[in-house]
Amino acid sequence: MKKYIAIVGSNSKKSTNRQLLEYMQHRYVNDVEIEIVEVAGLPIFKKTRDMAIPEQSKAMATKIDGADGVIIATPEYDHSIPAILSSALAWLSYGIHPLLDKPVLITGASFGSLGASRAQAQLRQILDSPEIKARVMPSSEFLLSHSLQAFNTDGLLIDAEQTKWLDSLVKDFAEFIDISAQLNHTHQEDDTRMADFSWDEGTTDKEVSK
């Protein structure tokens, strides 16, 4: 059985993105193990001279390393991902690189009608950056709009078409992971380049302390 780490991209205590991941965790319990991980509690990203990484980020990286794939659920704030999710991804590319070539499925829930579509597009760009280089499943975002009305009192998705769509994406993601396992010829080179990369090369003491 495959194992996924599902990242809640919000620090809200009543996040519908967390609710979506919990729904997936229970719906696919017989097919895949999904462990939900929180970004709440992480400090805003800041470079330090000793490249100190929060213990929460290290623990998250360890979980990602041991997983077959990652699911990220993001809300949308002002057409972008939340600052806390951006910080989490920055910490996960600061001297550690657990998302390198890691298969990722993007999901998102929003209160409005667009279903976090712009935030998901931005998230895809970030995950594709040279410091992260995750392997995001193409053309596969799950967009849950009007998320406050999307679940019943048992936490189940009300719309049967949405459920069918999500079922198909989860099946495709499992196959995407298998395909991705065959595409790692450059993994070692990328890992070496990232290890040699310096965030502070050519900067002054003043710039490092910003």
Render pLDDT for 61-115 as a digit per residue (tens, 0 to 9). 999 999 999 999 999 888 899 999 999 999 999 989 999 999 999 999 988 777 6
- SS3 sequence of the chain: CEEEEEEECCCCCCCHHHHHHHHHHHHCCCCEEEEEEECCCCCCCCCCCCCCCCHHHHHHHHHHHCCCEEEEECCCECCECCHHHHHHHHHCCCCCCCCCCCEEEEEEECCCCCCCHHHHHHHHHHHCCCCCCCEECCCCCEEECCHHHCECCCCCECCHHHHHHHHHHHHHHHHHHHHHCCCCCCHHHHHHHHHHCCCCCCCCHHHHCC
The confidence band for 34, taking pLDDT boundaries of 50, 70 and 90, is very high
In this prediction, residues 39-54 reach a mean pLDDT of 91
pLDDT of 9 over the 80 cut: yes
Percentage of the chain beyond pLDDT 90 is 73
Query: Looking at residue 199, what is its pLDDT?
Result: 56
pLDDT of 151 over the 60 cut: yes
Query: Looking at residue 161, what is its pLDDT?
Result: 95
Q: How far apart are CA 139 and CA 162, in angstroms?
A: 16
Query: Looking at residue 188, what is its pLDDT?
Result: 72
Residue 83 sits in which domain range?
2-208
- Overall domain count for the chain: 1
CATH number, domain of 202, equals: 3.40.50.360
In this prediction, residues 161-172 reach a mean pLDDT of 96
In this prediction, residues 143-156 reach a mean pLDDT of 93
Query: Looking at residue 204, what is its pLDDT?
Result: 38
Query: Looking at residue 200, what is its pLDDT?
Result: 60
Answer for the pair 82, 74: CB distance below 8 angstroms, yes or no.
yes
Query: Looking at residue 183, what is its pLDDT?
Result: 84
